[in-house]
Amino acid sequence: MIKLNFDKRFLNIFFFSFTVVLIIVTGIVLYKGKTRGFEFHCNNLEIEGSYTYDGGHTYYTLNPKSLVLPSKYDDIVILGHFNKDLVDKRPVYMFIQGLKVRIYVNGKIVFDQTNISEDTWAYFEPVNVKATDDIKIELSTDKSYIYNVHFRQFLQRMYQADRYELIREMLSHYMLHMLVCPAITIMGISILIYWACFRGVRDYNSVGLRSCGILMISGGLTCYLDYNYITLFLRNIYFLNFLNFLTQAMLVIFMVSYMKRYVAIEESQRRMNTIIVTMVTFTAIYMVRFALKDNLTEFDWMFMSFVIAVLVMLFIGLRDVYKEGLVIPIHSRIAFDTLILLVSGFIIEIIYFVITGAYIVRVIEVCLLVFSVAQYYLLVSSNVENYQKAKRAQELENELVQNKIKLMLGQIQPHFLYNAIGTIRALCTKDPKEARNALDYFAKFLRANMDSLTEEGCIPFEKELDHVKSYLYIEKLRFGELLDIEFDIKTTNFECPPLMLQTIVENAVKHGLMPKKEGGKIEISTIETQNCYEIKVTDNGVGFDTSKPLEEGRSHVGVDNTRQRVVALCQGTMNIGSRVGNGTTVTIIIPKAKMPGGVYESNIG
């Protein structure tokens, strides 16, 4: 039976590829449905005639592509007729944006929406309207003036169709838009879920993920709430306006919040926090006033204040990154550059809205899509990288357990046990008191070795030093004057990996001093400097050639294991200096920059 093993890396790539394929296939199906499956019956109506503005008596030929209009005007009157007969019973739909509209057919009012100007699709029921019938349309606004783009859209967006035919027409026109916006929202939800799942995981960098996820969700919803088609589904314009403002406000607020992750200067962070709090307060006040007043008359200045705030944030972020000389890793640099692109697109959209009264939409949509794809890609690649690190950490942990066992077995070798027991046995008849002392030291030595198997972090150096003294006491009983021991301990107020010093000292005795007939001397010293603690173990034994690799064996395993644990647990270093015939010096450096929990701060940025 074949056993399939799918790791997280494979699953991440698989689901990412599946999402891309699903979007492409959906687009193909919708396109084929447009070209093969549907027969649209939307009659695009045009008005042929003339118009005047601001109560003037001069009439201009009506041509939506070349309108003779000033930059600001309050009302428009159109006189003319439809370009075709309206003989069936289907309604006439018009896209009205920021306008009050009244329509006459042969002097009779057939449509009247002059109580309030809304951005929505509206319709009237024609009753055998002929192409020769006189049509009069009055356009006005409750804003400061009429925007030209609103007038053009009114002339170009007039259809005779039922509601479902118009919905299909708009969906076919905005098909790509309908795919991109939900994709951005789904990617934002994925990032937000990922942040919620991993925010409590140790050593996982989740800074900015929450703001990024909410930014993408609110941005996707903002682009999705396009009045050109959404008002065909949601008829509650009051709620739609409120929702549209809320999503845009959240987009700006979390855009600034996400940008804050790149600001390293404490003063700049305080300024950004102040501006974010101010923006949230203004948004809350505006929403309350909107709910009470039931209008959006303050919409323009509110968003202009948002533009100013975003520009300030952008300036602060760029100043910290470039002028302060901050170095951003390549992955973070990609995210930062796409964020700048998104901010630029947003500013262009808002400025265009303030000038023309309408959004381009495509600019912010493209910038948001690039930003979202980049963030999602970085999240997937980061997840793969974190998985590989976690897998490697698990392997190192397993290796550490095995190395501890090997190290412990290397410390308690049979010949050492036999020699120690033989020495104690000989003392029992010669010097029973000394035998009792030796037995106490031997018990301490064995207990320290066994305790090292359960230690997961560092231990006090004083405890490690006691362990070494127990070992040297027994070895001194065995070798007598052949083993000279000297301690120069100036500090013990630090921690070290268990069996660190024991391994080095035992190696010095067994492989440095005892091969010499006359024996030798071992010196153990500690010193505290401004930035670190320094431990030295020096012997005047036989030494070895450091340019040649160490021979395989238990001593080699012990030295390598000790070096790895000094680096992993303390971010320290271990250097070995030796010359043949002159002895060996082992120097261990343990930095003082220690983080909580027994883990030392890394020098890697």
- In contact, 174 and 108? CB cutoff 8 Å: no
User: Can you give the pLDDT at residue 38?
Assistant: 41
pLDDT of residue 125: 87
Q: What is the pLDDT of residue 527?
A: 94
pLDDT digits (tens, 9 = 90+) for 456-489: 778 899 999 998 998 898 888 888 888 999 999 9
3-state secondary structure of 584: strand
**Across the strands, what pairs with 51?**
60, 78
* pLDDT value for 596: 35
| pLDDT over threshold 50, residue 75 | yes
SS3 359: coil
SS3 126: coil
Q: Which helix (H) or strand (E) holds 111?
A: strand 108-124
pLDDT in tens, 255-266: 878 877 776 667
Q: How far apart are CA 593 and CA 602, in angstroms?
A: 8
The answer on pLDDT for 99 being more than 80 is yes
Token pair, residue 21, equals 């394929």
Phi, psi at 501, each rounded to 5°? -70, -35
Least confident segment among 2-16, 118-132, 267-281, 459-473: 2-16
Q: Assign domain 174-385 to a CATH class.
A: mainly alpha
Work out the average pLDDT over 500-504: 89
Residue 203 has pLDDT above 60, yes or no: no
C-alpha distances (whole Å) from 304 to each of 220, 240, 346 are 21, 21, 12
Q: Do β-strands 158-160 and 573-579 pair in parallel, antiparallel, or remain unpaired?
A: unpaired
For residue 502, give Cα distances in angstroms to 218, 445, 448, 452, 469.
60, 10, 10, 11, 9
Q: How many residues does this entry show for the chain?
A: 605
Cβ pair 47, 80 in contact under 8 A: yes
- Closest Cα to residue 472, out of 486, 457, 456? 486
At residue 551, the pLDDT reads 59
CA gap 374, 337 in Å, rounded:
10
In this prediction, residue 488 carries a pLDDT of 93
Rounded to the nearest 5 percent, the helix, strand and coil shares of the chain are 55, 20, 25
- pLDDT at residue number 332: 65
Q: What does the pLDDT read at residue 4? A: 43
| Rounded-to-integer distance, Cα 572 and Cα 13, Å | 37
Q: What pLDDT, on a 0 to 100 scale, did the predictor assign at position 6?
A: 45
Residue 35, pLDDT score: 45
Strands 583-591 and 92-105: unpaired
145 pLDDT tier (thresholds 50, 70, 90): low
Q: For the ranges 317-331, 352-366, 489-503, 526-540, which has the lowest average pLDDT?
A: 317-331
Kindly state the tokens that stand for 232: 């065909």
C-alpha distances (whole Å) from 93 to each of 44, 148, 165, 594 are 10, 20, 11, 71
Backbone angles phi, psi at 170, to 5 degrees: -70, -40
Alpha carbon 240 to chain centroid, angstroms? 30
Question: What is the full DSSP assignment across 515-530?
Answer: TSTT-EEEEEEEEE-S
Note whether 73 and 54 are within 8 A (CB).
yes
Among 219-223, 415-419, 433-437, name the one with the lowest average pLDDT. 415-419
Mean pLDDT for 27-54 is: 67
Residue 298 is encoded by which pair of tokens? Answer: 């303050």
CATH of domain 412-591: 3.30.565.10
**Is 518 a residue whose pLDDT tops 60?**
yes
* Mean pLDDT to the nearest integer, 41-66: 84
pLDDT-derived band of residue 134, with 50, 70 and 90 as boundaries? very high
Lowest mean pLDDT among 269-278, 344-353, 547-556: 547-556
pLDDT at 599 exceeding the cut of 50: no
Q: Would you list the DSSP string of 227-282?
A: HHHHTTT---HHHHHHHHHHHHHHHHHHHHHHHGGG---HHHHHHHHHHHHHHHHH
Of 139-153, 206-220, 395-409, 530-544, which range is least confident? 395-409
What local confidence, expressed as pLDDT, does residue 77 receive? Answer: 92
550, 501 contact by CB (below 8 A): no
Q: What is the pLDDT of residue 40?
A: 45
Helices (H) and strands (E) in the chain, counts: 16, 15
Cβ atoms of 553 and 595 closer than 8 Å: no
**Nearest alpha-carbon partner for 383 in 211, 197, 186:** 197
At 601 the three-state DSSP class reads coil
- Distance between CA 141 and CA 492 in Å, rounded? 83
Percentage above 90 pLDDT, the chain: 14
For residue 508, give the nearest of 570, 558, 561, 573 by alpha carbon. 558
Q: Which residue has the higher pLDDT, 115 or 232?
A: 232
At residue 556, the pLDDT reads 54
* Tokens encoding 255: 């855009």
Cα separation, 189 vs 203, in Å, equals: 23
Q: How far is CA 445 from CA 226, 408, 555, in A?
A: 77, 11, 19
pLDDT of residue 597: 36
pLDDT surpassing 50 at residue 5: no
Three-class DSSP labels, 40-59 = CCCEECCEEEEEEECCCCCC
Instruction: Identify the architecture of domain 44-170 in CATH.
Output: Sandwich (2.60)
pLDDT at residue 595 in the model? 37
Q: Which of 190, 531, 581 is nearest to 373 (CA)?
A: 190
Higher pLDDT, 494 or 264: 494
Mean pLDDT (whole number) for 92-111 = 90
Band (393; pLDDT cuts 50, 70, 90)? low
Task: Tell me the residue ranges of DSSP E strands in 314-449.
Answer: none
Across residues 16-36, what is the average pLDDT? Answer: 55
> Predicted confidence band at 491 (pLDDT cuts at 50, 70, 90)?
very high
Six-digit token string for 331: 């992955």
More reliable by pLDDT, 539 or 454: 539
Residue 460, sorted as left (phi over 0), alpha (psi -120 to 50) or beta, turns out to be beta
Mean pLDDT for all residues in the chain: 77
Q: Tokens for 196?
A: 């919620």
Helix (H, G, I), strand (E, B) or coil at 92: strand
282, pLDDT greater than 60: yes
Mean pLDDT across the stretch 69-87? Answer: 85
pLDDT at site 36: 43
Beta strand pairing call for 573-579 and 583-591: antiparallel
pTM, two decimal places:
0.58
Amino acid at 507: N
